[in-house]
Structure 1
Amino acid sequence: MNIDLPKGNMLRQLQSNPCIAILRGLKPAQAKAIGQKLYQHGIKIMEVPLNREGAYESIEILYNSMPSDCLIGAGTVTKVEQLDRLHALGIKLAISPNTDVDIIQKAAEYNMLHMPGVATPSEVYTAYNSGARWLKLFPATTFGTGHLKALLSIAPKGANFIAVGGLDTTNLKDWMAAGAKGVGIGNSLYSEDDIFVESEKKIALFAEACKQIK
């Protein structure tokens, strides 16, 4: 599977559909089917957080089975060693809940798109000055859309914010209107305890909400 340079790929995908699927606890046995269902609904950026068993296996299955215009990544990346393993798999997207300069710089060495988690002006500038251009506002709903607007007013012009944490189909439009370049949805889209029929329904609702914010 060939993936374009991650920055260009990310921008193109978010322009066509600004929604990121966060698949925490995705079981390897369901990975291909869930990925295909998301793709059918136009969701082409998928993240599997590493803080659940089977995460690397699910990421590898998605990477090897999805079309080349998908961007498959890992979430909850908190250690440089995790980047080493992701790089070996060919993964080009790594998302963290925090700002870690060592991870940002190592990701750059691997030509990976790393999205560090930020919440304060200091974290925004630390991440940006270390080379990150896509920033994950987390946990977004804890701070609110007003907080995002405030960060945008002082952030470097090249900083792009993705809102993650507490979002659901009812508030995506609010976050995009506040200036987010994209949104990530987790539990309200996919839960490791869902049966496939439940996941199908959630994906359909998520995709419909995403259509309203393009």
Structure 2
Amino acid sequence: MSQERMTRRPGVGLALRGNPVVAVLRASHASEYAPVIEALAAGGVTSIELTLSTEGVFAHLPALVELFGARVDIGVGTITTAEQANEAMDAGAAFLVTPVTKLEVVEAAVDRDVPIFPGGLTPTELWSGWNAGATAVKVFPAGTVGPGYVGHLRGPFPDIEVIPSGGVSIEDAPAWIAAGALAVSLGGPLLGDAFRGGDLTALTGRAQRVTALAAAAVAARGAR
């Protein structure tokens, strides 16, 4: 890998800068996504990750981007190959997320200046993704380490940007942001039963709550 590639890094999207919350959506089929995205957007969550463990993501992504792209950033997660990364970007993905550190996936996103959040847990994995040009690294599963892990990583890697995912609850969000996380990533604790016929108004309420908690944590961190 060239030094030029190592120093290139896609920037954080405006949506994530405005609200440091990523909603992770998993459903039986991507045709179920639109009402849930609408409810999340109504609650202020503006970064939406569509996971490839859901059938039909690539087929439905262009229409979802056309429908919601002016209000939210829609990215694709659970990417494990460069081919999937390029297909997602071709379909309009605003960012990419991986469950593991695959440098060829990071390189594909960096080459096209698309934000990329590769997953890892160990310092070796997380540094590898960051050093390859990741926008931020996804600590996964974050519930196994806790917010204090951010400070431990910042010891040897003072500039590394971190997004925790997996085992992060709505109530956990402020602690992670206070610890220095760029954003938090939530799936089940935020989505609840939304894809099983649950109340979408309640989903909007949860989105509003995590948005408010995250904003307060960012403000408190800035005041220190």
Structure 2 unaligned spans of 5+: 1-8, 216-224
SS of 2:138's partner is strand
Q: 1:8 Cα deviation (Å)?
A: 4.7
**Cα displacement string for residues 81-115 of structure 1 (whole angstroms, at most 9, x for unaligned residues):** 10121122122311001111111111112222111
Matched, 1:164 2:161: no
Alpha-carbon distance in structure 1 between the residues aligned to 2:63 and 2:36: 11
Equivalent runs, 1:1-214 vs 2, <5 Å? 7-8=10-11, 10=13, 12-25=14-27, 27-157=29-159, 159-190=160-191, 194-214=195-215
SS of 1:78's partner is coil
SS of 1:213's partner is helix
Moved more, 121-130 or 53-62: 53-62
SS of 2:163's partner is strand
Runs of 4+ in 1 over 4 A off after TM superposition: 6-9
Alpha-carbon distance in structure 2 between the residues aligned to 1:134 and 1:17: 15
| Alignment size in residue pairs | 207
Alpha-carbon distance in structure 2 between the residues aligned to 1:8 and 1:108: 10
Give 2:51's aligned amino acid. P
Alpha-carbon distance in structure 1 between the residues aligned to 2:31 and 2:94: 23
Alpha-carbon distance in structure 2 between the residues aligned to 1:192 and 1:102: 35
Structure 1 unaligned spans of 5+: 1-5
Percent identity over paired residues: 26
Distance 1:74 1:67, change over 3 A: closer
Distance 1:164 1:101, change over 3 A: same
TM-score for both structures, normalised by structure 2: 0.83
Give 2:124's aligned amino acid. S
Q: Is the 8 A contact 1:117 1:135 kept in 2?
A: yes
Query: Cα RMSD between the aligned structures?
Result: 2.2
**Cα displacement string for residues 165-193 of structure 1 (whole angstroms, at most 9, x for unaligned residues):** 11111211111111111001101222677
TM-score for both structures, normalised by structure 1: 0.87
Alpha-carbon distance in structure 2 between the residues aligned to 1:180 and 1:146: 10
Q: Is the 8 A contact 2:139 2:163 kept in 1?
A: yes
**Cα displacement string for residues 132-181 of structure 1 (whole angstroms, at most 9, x for unaligned residues):** 13111111111111222201222141x21111111111211111111111
Moved more, 57-66 or 139-148: 57-66
Give 1:108's aligned amino acid. V
